[in-house]
Amino acid sequence: MRCLWAASWRSLRRKTLHSSTSSSSPSSSSLSSNLKLLGPNLPDVWMVPGPSSSAFRSQSSAANGQTANVINGKSIARAIRAEIANEICRMKETIVKSPGLAIVLVGGRRDSRTFIRVKLKACEEVGITTYVEEFPEECTEDEVLRVVSRLNNNPSVNGIIVQLPLPQHVDEERIVNFVSPEKDVDGFHPLNMGNLAMKGREPLFIPCAPKGCIELLLRSGVEIMGKRAVVVGRSKIVGLPTSLLLQLAKTGSCCSGYGDQSSSGSWR
């Protein structure tokens, strides 16, 4: 969810910062500070925010005496949502606008509808305006492209999600690549993925699952830089971008797992 801020704040930050600098009130100063936390912010993403979170607890293994740490993701998620809700509230007070997220759904897959319900509920909790564009399974590729084009040009829409997978007769790559890179909150556009892979570049968006993993580690007080890391799987949704993020963190070594996918399903 936090990735949605990159586009929203890029389009609105200039006006907001102007309002903040023209006022000396504490709330304006706080808003300016909060703006720095939004979006990918890669130069600072590896900084541990503070001491280990209370969501981080240890468990000992009776087999070898080693200690494993269990992260309570739910408590961290609640904290992040509270922070985002507060940021949006400040945004509304300052510039009377809130971020807008559009979701494109093609077909009636039960799992896709479940994912969308979760996203809509999360957006409602923090104050994000949502738009849902639904198509029947038999719709044409051009129909989807026309709607994506309209959303690209809609100033009220700051982020676009094309719910995957798409029906087989629709070219998934063509649809995903047609989304404006500045509204590609999934981070799947070649421009965003390419910038993530290149040293010294900063993508407009980072895929949410890999960024969520990094966020969990950092908020739990885990130092990432210099560590050895293994990513099991190399999909473009999770495995590949996670490996790229860890390489940016200068991990000692990082590799993606390979294996026989026929017996265990698709690797992520």
Domain containing 128 — which CATH number?
Answer: 3.40.50.10860
pLDDT higher than threshold 50 for residue 67: yes
- Domain co-membership, 169 together with 82: yes
Domain around 236: 187-250
- Average confidence score pLDDT of the chain: 78
Is the pLDDT score of 249 beyond 80?
Answer: no
Q: What mean pLDDT is predicted for residues 156-165?
A: 96
Question: Does residue 164 belong to any structural domain of this protein?
Answer: yes
Q: Which helix (H) or strand (E) holds 253?
A: strand 253-256
Q: Residue 78 domain-assigned? A: yes
User: Is 222 part of any domain?
Assistant: yes
Is residue 171's pLDDT more than 70? yes
Task: Tell me, yes or no, whether 78 and 176 share the same domain.
Answer: yes
In a domain, 44, yes or no: no
**Residue 119 bears catalytic tag:** yes
Of 126, 154, 183, which closes a domain? 183
User: Which of 119, 183, 184, 211 is labelled catalytic?
Assistant: 119
User: Are 147 and 91 part of one and the same domain?
Assistant: yes
Residue 144 lies in a domain: yes
Which position has the token pair 């961290």?
A: 76
Residues 96 and 178 in one domain: yes
Considering the domain architecture, whether residues 151 and 244 belong to the same structural domain is answered as: no
Would residue 260 show up in a list of annotated catalytic residues for this protein?
no
Mean pLDDT of the region 20-34: 40
Same domain, 84 and 114: yes
Mean pLDDT of 189-217: 89
Residue 215 near residue 76, CB atoms below 8 Å:
yes
Model confidence at 181, pLDDT cuts 50, 70, 90, reads: very high
153 and 201 housed in the same domain: no
Q: Are residues 132 and 175 in the same domain?
A: yes
Per-residue pLDDT averaged across 219-242, rounded? 84
Catalogue the E-assigned strands of 136-250: 159-162, 228-231
Residues 162 and 221 in one domain: no
Instruction: Given the residues 183, 184, 186, 211, select the one marked as catalytic.
Output: 186
Top-confidence residue, 240 or 131: 131
Burial of 59 (0-12, 13-18, 19+ CB in 10 A): exposed
Q: Among 183, 204, 238, identify where a domain stops.
A: 183
Q: 163 catalytic, yes or no? A: yes
Question: Which residues of 140-179 form beta strands (DSSP E)?
Answer: 159-162
- The number of distinct structural domains making up the chain is 2
* 2 within domain boundaries: no
Tell me the C-alpha to C-alpha distance, in Å, between residue 57 and each of 50, 53, 61, 214, 230.
16, 9, 13, 17, 22
Domain shared by 168 and 239, yes or no: no
Has residue 262 been placed in a domain? no
- Which of 163, 183, 184, 211 is an active site residue? 163
Residues 170 and 87 in one domain: yes
Cβ atoms of 268 and 239 closer than 8 Å: yes
Same domain for 106 and 206?
no
In a domain, 50, yes or no: no
